Amino acid sequence: MINYVINVTGLIISALGLMQVLRSRILEKRSRRYFLLIFGFLIAYAASDLVSWMTYGIPGKWWGLASKTGLFLESVFSCALILLLTDFLLYSAGEKKRPGNRVFQIILGFFAVYLALLIYAQFSTDIYYYDELNQYHRGPWYPSLLVSPIIMSLLSVLLLWQKRRSLARPQIIAFASCILVPCISIVIQMLFYGFSIIVLGSSVGSFIMLTYVLNDQTEQYYVQLAENSRLKSEILLSQIQPHFLFNTLGTISHLCTDSPEAKKAIVLFSRYLRGNIDVLSTATLIPFDKEIEHTKIYLELEKLRFGDSLQVRWDLQCTDFMIPSLTLQPLVENAVRYGVRGNADGCGTVQILSRDCESFYAISVLDSGPGFRLEDERKSDERSHIGIDNVKERIRTICNGKLVIQYVTGQGTQATIILPKEKAA
């Protein structure tokens, strides 16, 4: 009964592994093929072993043939898995001519010896045999059948050691688990007669390897996303040509001799652009004071447009912490555009507050506007709320914080950034 449980468990683990591979969008194309083969072999291995146990002990020619066929196939698949795993190891280590690797050739040789012994066992009682009651028995040469898989596994470990400098740490752990767990299972099965554990050990080892490889490639995937984002920022900066832009604004500023307000607006706008470009070139947290400075420049520009109809109140109880760049200013811009300017007379107040709470910092932006539902505004102006979505995502991914937006119709909107202290310190 225990062997049925072991086989079904191994079959379920292998099926789950196969489903995970099919669903994953992170796995590199070649790695996906290897894992599809590995879990395909494991499913065939577990199914063959299950057939051999289900038909075991039932007298009759066809039942005996089913038992022998199941045992033969499971033996082939179990050893072929070692060969496939070794090939995957060499590929992961960057070896292009894998069949030419000397250790791999030796492993191929032992696999050929194993197949020869397995075929010989079908016509002899020296290794194993089934009697007329379809009962399995080990012959005097049975240990010779396990020698090749054990040597193949040890050679795979040797190969892993040789290629360790070409593999990342998660890859080394992944391959070690997938090689050693089945190898230990072979020894246990050899010592405990009638206890079929290799299929379970192989399934568990392969699933552990898949988990490590998926984690490693997921990390690489997000590193690549960050790199792509950085490159896009660099391309954007190169297209903007900031020196030319700032020089041009400076020239226009000098020409504004008759309008001090126009000159002030150009100077502020130049500082605002420079602040945006500076933060595009960094992916790290910045001091909250710097984000405040950038937001104040934006508000000064808006005050030049709207005059006394826009009132700003600051209530900063703490500023000595770090924050993702370009997170406060988009919220303040949203409060001005949809809060203050959303009133019938276009007048109103924006408040910016910061609080030092027990386990987090809170930065709130409040407006005295009509109040709005973000989803409703998004329907009417999709582009303007991309900034809010970006703020929410940046806070979440960079420092595990969150953005909470609360609104009351007719009373205004409050947007609050919550930053865990261990991240913002």
Query: Percent of the chain scored above 70 by pLDDT?
Result: 79
Long-range contacts from 188-197, C-beta under 8 angstroms, 24+ separation: 190/143, 190/146, 193/138, 194/3, 195/2, 195/3, 196/3, 196/6, 196/7, 196/49, 196/53, 197/6
Spatial distance between the Cα atoms of 100 and 329, rounded to a whole number of angstroms:
60
Q: Confirm whether 40 is domain-assigned.
A: yes
Q: Is the pTM higher than 0.85?
A: no
Which residues pair with residue 410 across a beta bridge?
none
Q: Confirm whether 243 is domain-assigned.
A: no
Spatial distance between the Cα atoms of 208 and 204, rounded to a whole number of angstroms:
6
Q: How confident is the model at residue 236 (pLDDT cuts 50, 70, 90)?
A: low
Q: What is the pLDDT of residue 235?
A: 53
Range of the domain at 383: 309-424
| Comparison of pLDDT for 15 and 7, the residue scoring more | 15
Residues 314 and 220 in one domain: no
Q: How confident is the model at residue 383 (pLDDT cuts 50, 70, 90)?
A: very low
Based on its alpha-carbon atoms, the radius of gyration of the chain, rounded to whole angstroms, reads 34
Residues 219 and 314 in one domain: no
Q: Confirm whether 30 is domain-assigned.
A: yes
Q: Confirm whether 250 is domain-assigned.
A: no
pLDDT at 405 over 50: yes
Average pLDDT, integer, range 233-257: 57
Spatial distance between the Cα atoms of 298 and 76, rounded to a whole number of angstroms:
71
Q: How confident is the model at residue 25 (pLDDT cuts 50, 70, 90)?
A: confident
CATH number at 155 reads 1.20.1070
Residues 204 and 321 in one domain: no
Give CA 170 to chain center in angstroms: 13
Average pLDDT, integer, range 75-81: 86
Q: Confirm whether 260 is domain-assigned.
A: no
**Element containing residue 5 per DSSP (H, E):** helix 2-23
Residues 209 and 334 in one domain: no
Q: Tell me what the pLDDT averaged over the chain comes to.
A: 80
Domain count, the chain: 2
Q: Confirm whether 249 is domain-assigned.
A: no
Which residues pair with residue 313 across a beta bridge?
351
Spatial distance between the Cα atoms of 275 and 287, rounded to a whole number of angstroms:
13
Residues 184 and 327 in one domain: no
Q: What is the pLDDT of residue 289?
A: 92
**Alpha-carbon torsion (34, 39, 40, 46), positive or negative:** positive
Give CA 357 to chain center in angstroms: 32
Average pLDDT, integer, range 294-305: 85
Residues 13 and 158 in one domain: yes
Query: What tokens were used for 351?
Result: 């408040």
Residues 177 and 313 in one domain: no
For the sheet with 310-316, list strands across it.
Answer: 310-316, 348-356, 360-367, 412-420, 402-408
Residues 50 and 186 in one domain: yes
CATH number at 389 reads 3.30.565.10
Q: How confident is the model at residue 381 (pLDDT cuts 50, 70, 90)?
A: low
Sequence-separated (6 or more) residues with CB below 8 Å from residue 44: 73, 77
Spatial distance between the Cα atoms of 206 and 14, rounded to a whole number of angstroms:
8
pLDDT digits (tens, 9 = 90+) for 251-283: 666 666 666 777 677 777 777 776 666 665 555
Of the residues 191, 224, 257, which one is the last residue of a structural domain? 224
Q: Using an 8 Å Cβ cutoff, are 339 and 368 in contact? A: yes
Q: Which amino acid is at 331?
A: L
Q: Which amino acid is at 191?
A: L
Q: Confirm whether 289 is domain-assigned.
A: no
Of the residues 224, 249, 268, which one is the last residue of a structural domain? 224
Q: Confirm whether 76 is domain-assigned.
A: yes
Residues 316 and 218 in one domain: no
Pairing of β 360-367 and β 322-323: unpaired
Q: How confident is the model at residue 375 (pLDDT cuts 50, 70, 90)?
A: low
| Comparison of pLDDT for 244 and 389, the residue scoring more | 389
Residues 200 and 321 in one domain: no
Residues 334 and 217 in one domain: no
Q: What is the pLDDT of residue 193?
A: 56
Of the residues 178, 201, 224, which one is the last residue of a structural domain? 224
pLDDT digits (tens, 9 = 90+) for 48-76: 888 887 888 888 889 989 989 988 998 88
Burial class of residue 275 in the structure, from the number of CB atoms within 10 Å of its CB (0-12 exposed, 13-18 middle, 19+ buried): buried
**Alpha helix positions (H), 241-327:** 242-255, 260-280, 288-306
| Comparison of pLDDT for 137 and 177, the residue scoring more | 137
Query: What tokens were used for 164?
Result: 């360790």
Residues 167 and 22 in one domain: yes
| Comparison of pLDDT for 114 and 387, the residue scoring more | 114
